[in-house]
Every structure is written in structure tokens, then in C-alpha cells.
Structure 1
Amino acid sequence: MRIIFMGTPDFAVASLKALLEAGENIVGVITAPDKPAGRGQKINESAVKKFAVEHHLNVLQPEKLKNPEFLEQLKALKADLQVVVAFRMLPEVVWAMPKYGTINLHASLLPQYRGAAPINWAIINGEKESGVTTFFLKHEIDTGDVLLSEKVSITQEMTAGDLHDALMETGAGLLTKTVSAIAKNEYQEKPQATFNEKTLKHAPKIFKEDCKIDWNNSNEQVYNLIRGLSPYPSAYTTFLDKGLKIYIAEQENTKPEITAGEFVSDGKTFLKFATQNGFISVKEIQQEGKKKMLIGDFLRGIRM
């Protein structure tokens, strides 16, 4: 089959790499336009573009997916199938173009956690498992008929970064199996399971207000928020009148004798904040205006 691959971040690179290693015919790669980033406004290329260029693949970077010139370029590639991994919402004129349609790899066990941030929300909500799903695109986002899915366990210590890497590798393998099944016409489409709206969990985009720690919550809720937002965009609080991002922490289930949000520290090795029913001992942090560091190094450099 002639395949067009669409994706942008590192998560998508693993899938593109797996398809190439499986011998699939990638006739084009669609990714985000280059953008200036950082203080020097240096032009930044997507991870997918860098990989595609290194492997001499044909790359297109449309600003708008409905641009007539881009649509003509897409048609000229004569794709049998399009594969989408961590890209952006496609208009029907794009996803309906190939003979076999367009498939997507989503980082959850659909229909649970439809949306932009399934990895983060699965951990924030304290899930014990997640997974990846391949499905055919249709009008409503993340609602198409399921092709294949595979579960991944979530351990108590896993951060969003850890789960991202596990799902990235599992997803690359699942996507390769899906493309092979379509090529052999050995696949079956299954409508997504129907859930009561009360039991359906969503994964909307995460904003800054979602990242602020509420120390009045339970120990487990705060701990899950910290690891569910680590390493990015990271949970934060205020400490000594400055913003403090927390990347790694541990739970202590000792009943606090101080108010939730207050802290205890020896000024050298530990810093822990009281929650509703315990303490969160912070291990790796970043104070506003400083670099990321271990708690001992941080405490040695400040005055309480």
C-alpha cells in the first residue's frame, strides 16, 4: 500500500520508525510547519520532520489543511491509506481521500479518555491501566470504529512521562499490526462501546489552572496530580512567595497536625507539605527563576 503518515512529536516518531522497519511504503509525511521558539526565536522543526528528513522521506508542512495547493499535493501522492499519530484534527476532505480511509493511533483504551491529553488524565485520575487503540477516523473526534487495542499497566510510581514512553512503544507495534491487517484485508471494525455519560471519562487539553495543587485534597489526589503532570506541564504551588514546580514526590500517610498547605522541613534534606490526610514529600522541584534540582540541593541554596 501507498501510505501517508501524519504526526508531529516524539510519540509519533516511534510509529513512523516501526512502519519503515516493517517495510511499509511511506510515500509522504505530513507534519507541523517550522516555528520560531525560545529566546533566540530559533526555527524549530518537529520531531517527525527531523526523522523524516534523515530517512529521505517526502515531507509536506501545510499551514492550513484545506489549502487547495496542499490538497492537490496530497492527491498527487495517490495514497491507499493515511496514518495519523499525534497530529491535529483533519477535515473530511483530507481523511476521506484515500481508498482505505485514515486510521488514528490514540493513547487510551477508547472510548475512555477521548481528547487531547489522555496520558495525563489517566494518571491524574488514579487509573491502574491504560492502553492504545487504533481506529478509523470519522466526523466526531476519537469516536471511529475500533480496529485493535492493547492494554498497558500503570504502576503507583509511574509519571506521565513514563506512561508516555510505554504507550509510545506499545502503540508503534499495534499500529504496524493494524496496517498489516488492512493490507491483507484481515481486520474487523468494532463500534466503540457505549457508556453512560457519568462513567465516560474525558481527556481535555490541560491549562495552567489545572496544574495548581490544592493541598486541601487527599494525599492520593495530590500525588496523582503531581505524577500525572510530570515532566510536563508540571504541577505547581507557591513556596516562599515564589512559584514552585514539583516533578517527583512521595506520599507519607501520617495525619498532619498542621493546616493543609503548610510545610515542614529540616532545611537540609526534606521538604513536605500537609494535605487533607497526610504529607507530600517533594523530591525534585524547580523554583521560579531557577533550574530543576533535587530537594537537598535546593534547600542548601535558600534561606527559610
Structure 2
Amino acid sequence: MKKEDLRIVYMGTPDFAVESLRALVEGGYNVVGVITMPDKPVGRHGSVLQASPVKQYAVSKGLPVLQPVKLKDEAFLSELRALEADLQIVVAFRMLPEVVWNMPRLGTFNLHASLLPQYRGAAPINWAVINGDTETGVTTFFLTHEIDTGKIIRQKHLPIADTDDVGTVHDSLMTMGAGLVLETVDLLLEGKTDAIPQEEFYQDSVELRPAPKIFKETCRIDWHQPLKKIYDFIRGLSPYPAAWTEIISPEGVPTVLKVYQAEKHPATHNLPVGTICTDKKSYVDIAVEGGYLRLLSLQLAGKKRLSITEFLNGFKQIGEYTVK
């Protein structure tokens, strides 16, 4: 079968999923329909509806778009069947019921932003950086009942530099993933559907590191961790959703502070953890186990993100505070 004849239904929502859809469309593959999340209310009163990035791209290319609220809804299932897909591709969408992923004759494969079976879950890029990994990658695998556990089709590896944050790794994986999606479709077109069970990649489940969804409290900095751990934690949450802490005034009043970028400065000191050291002009260092964490980019609650010099221009009293 030629790629122009293979009927593909594509499922995705955020920016990460746009690149793979674009690669399929511009590569001449036959995308017959796009499934994405319903438009999201935005604005102060939620009176404006915003389409997902995937929908915006699909509409710009004249592709049919379905936006089901419930994936088991019979009206949606009828519309999906009518697309007569040979293959479904999922990139950053949501968990599918079997009635959906089992519908096409070639099945449904997912692009996941990790080297499965490591980092199954909602936030694989964040957790790889938070854990200080020096390598990650992308995986295509066939969907099955348990999330992120299906047979692996192909993988590509990506080194993580010590200076990378989630933003840079995300963008690299997004581009790499688009290439892997095309490679996987081409393999299926050639009839090469052999895939490897994930159980062959590990001996014991205790070896597996999860990637659960990240919540606000997950992002709070623990200053009692070693220097490298805190540094990796900050870059593993930057630029979104961002690590945060509370700075405490001499009067005991807490203020939330988000930290987007930092440097690690190994050193020996006898200062209490959380002590803030600054010249009030060019640097702010936090004393931690193993040295100092130098803050480079941050944001006070209700204010805009600033470089450290911009921050100190308006907040020279930071040296009188502590972090918690």
C-alpha cells in the first residue's frame, strides 16, 4: 500500500503534537481526520473559547476535526468509524478506551516522550530532567489496556546536557518524535509490524521510574536536598510549570517566588540551609548542602519574570529574607 492510500486518523492536543501532524501532512500522508480536545474556556470569565494547537493547525489545512467530550459516546464512535481509518496515531492526547484504539485494522500507535518502559505517565520529560538523567528519547508503541505498556515499535535516543531545561528537551523531542512517527508509519506500510514487549527491557518493575502528573505542590523546592538535586529540580520544571519556594521576610511574612533558572556553585560553608547571600546588585545565592545555588531568573507572585539584576533593582532587601 502507498502512503497516499493509507487512511490515518490523528489524535493529539498540545504544541508537542502539532509537529508530528505537520510532518504527516507535509510528507504527503493521507490524514483523513483529527481528534482533539474540546475548545477550552479562557479569559477572566471564561467567555472566550480557545482551540487546541492541534485543532488550529488541522483547520488551517482543511482537515476534518472531531472534538469528543466522551470517547465512548456513540455519536463520536459512529463519526470515527465513518472515517474508515487503517491506522490511528496518538501524540499527547488522552487515555483511549479499547473500542477506540482497537478500531483500525493496523491498530493504534502512540508516540511517548521517553525511552519506555521508563517514565510511563503524564510528565516524562519533566521527570527525566528532575532525576538528572543524561539521556532520554522517544518511543512508538502499540496501545493496549494498561497505559504506556504496549509493545515497542521503535525508539530514538537524545542526550540531555547538564544545562538543558524542560523547554529545550521538549523542543528537541518534539522534532525527533515527528521523524519517528513517519518512520513508524513507513514500517507499517512495509508490513513490518513486529514489536517488542516492554517486559524484555527490564527484569524487575522496581527498576522502572514513573512519570506521574505534576501538581503545584510537586513543584515546591526542598532546600534540604543536595545542591545538584535542587539544580536538576529547577531545570526539570522550567519554563513550565516552574519550581517555587517561599521567601520569608524578617517579620515572618511569606511570599511565593518562582525560580526558572539557576547555577550550581559547589563550596564548603557553615551557613544554615536557606540562608540568602547577595551583593544587592548582581547575584543572589542560596546556601544549601554542598554549596550555593545562584538564582538567575525568577518571578515574585503577581509580577513578571525577571533576570536577577532586574529583580535586585526593585528588591534589594532580599538579603534580609530566608527561604523555606
Measured after TM superposition, the shift of residue 22 of structure 1 is: 1.6
Partner of 1:276: 289
Partner of 2:88: 82
Once the two structures are overlaid, the 10-residue window that deviates more, 122-131 or 201-210, is: 201-210
Does residue 200 of the first structure (1) align with residue 208 of the second (2)?
yes
- What are the ranges of 5 or more consecutive residues in structure 2 without an aligned counterpart? 1-5, 318-324
Whether the aligned pair in 1 keeps the contact of 2:258 and 2:299 (CA below 8 Å) is: yes
- What are the ranges of 5 or more consecutive residues in structure 1 without an aligned counterpart? none
Whether the aligned pair in 1 keeps the contact of 2:220 and 2:243 (CA below 8 Å) is: yes
Q: Which amino acid aligns with 1:249?
A: A
Partner of 2:29: 24
Once the two structures are overlaid, the 10-residue window that deviates more, 9-18 or 177-186, is: 177-186
Please list the CA deviations of residues 257-304 of structure 1 after superposition, one character each: whole Å capped at 9, or x if unmatched: 311111101111111111111111010101111000101001111240
2:226 corresponds to which of 218, 222, 235: 218
Taking only the aligned residue pairs, the percentage that are identical comes to 52
Q: Which SS does the other structure have where 1:280 is aligned? A: strand
2:12 corresponds to which of 7, 10, 34: 7
Q: Distance between the aligned counterparts of 1:176 and 1:131, measured in 2?
A: 16
Measured after TM superposition, the shift of residue 180 of structure 1 is: 1.1
Q: Which amino acid aligns with 2:246?
A: T
Q: Which SS does the other structure have where 1:16 is aligned? A: helix
Please list the CA deviations of residues 185-221 of structure 1 after superposition, one character each: whole Å capped at 9, or x if unmatched: 1342111123312211110111112111111100000
Q: Distance between the aligned counterparts of 1:117 and 1:296, measured in 2?
A: 32
Q: Which amino acid aligns with 1:97?
A: M
1:53 corresponds to which of 40, 56, 59: 59
Measured after TM superposition, the shift of residue 38 of structure 1 is: 3.3
Does residue 235 of the first structure (1) align with residue 226 of the second (2)?
no
Q: Which SS does the other structure have where 1:300 is aligned? A: helix
Q: Which SS does the other structure have where 2:297 is aligned? A: strand
TM-score norm. by structure 1 comes to 0.98
Q: Which amino acid aligns with 2:89?
A: V
Partner of 1:69: 75
Q: Which amino acid aligns with 1:77?
A: L
Q: Distance between the aligned counterparts of 1:195 and 1:233, measured in 2?
A: 34
2:311 corresponds to which of 295, 298, 303: 298
Q: Which SS does the other structure have where 1:169 is aligned? A: helix
Q: Which amino acid aligns with 2:130?
A: I
Please list the CA deviations of residues 46-66 of structure 1 after superposition, one character each: whole Å capped at 9, or x if unmatched: 000000001110000000000
Q: Which amino acid aligns with 1:32?
A: M
1:169 corresponds to which of 168, 171, 175: 175
Partner of 1:159: 165
Once the two structures are overlaid, the 10-residue window that deviates more, 33-42 or 161-170, is: 33-42
1:33 corresponds to which of 18, 34, 38: 38
Measured after TM superposition, the shift of residue 40 of structure 1 is: 4.7
Q: Distance between the aligned counterparts of 2:280 and 2:45, measured in 1?
A: 37
Measured after TM superposition, the shift of residue 255 of structure 1 is: 1.8
Q: Distance between the aligned counterparts of 2:310 and 2:177, measured in 1?
A: 38
2:108 corresponds to which of 102, 113, 118: 102
TM-score norm. by structure 2 comes to 0.92
Which consecutive aligned stretches of 4+ in structure 1 deviate over 3 angstroms post-superposition? none
